[in-house]
Amino acid sequence: MLPAATQAEILRLHYAERWAGSRIARHLGVNRKSVRKVLRRRSVALAPAPPRPRMTCLSPFRPRIQALLAEALVERFDADWWRNPRAGPWITAELFSHGQRELAEEQARRVAGRSPSFAPLVRAIEGMLT
């Protein structure tokens, strides 16, 4: 990311002096794409923008899968499943060892014994509200 002073200079040269982006890049010795980003943003960025979350084929199902998995862990290892020493090896063996070979439906059936539905998510939300 360019220093704030350089970004301010880019904006000044473009808007006050009416310089083109390529001329600004040559004058300041910075990449044209960096100049273009500053001009598109029209402001000085003091911190880099946070990265956008990566979308995967499971992204639309994430809340339902999380709720289903949480219910399966509570059923299998009790409400404080994160303290149970058997939970870690089970998660590693049942979830992570298969990678991304299975579809969400197949993984839910194998791990929790049922297909993903909105019922666990609704119960989790109701539990948070009460």
Answer yes or no: is pLDDT of 34 > 90. yes
pLDDT tens by residue, 61-75: 788 888 888 888 898
Cβ neighbors of 26 (< 8 A, separation 6 or more) are none
Answer yes or no: is pLDDT of 106 > 80. yes
Residue in this structure with the two tokens 């880099």, named with its chain if needed: 48
Q: Quick check: 78 and 71 in contact, CB under 8 A?
A: no
Answer yes or no: is pLDDT of 33 > 90. yes
pLDDT tens by residue, 49-60: 788 888 877 777
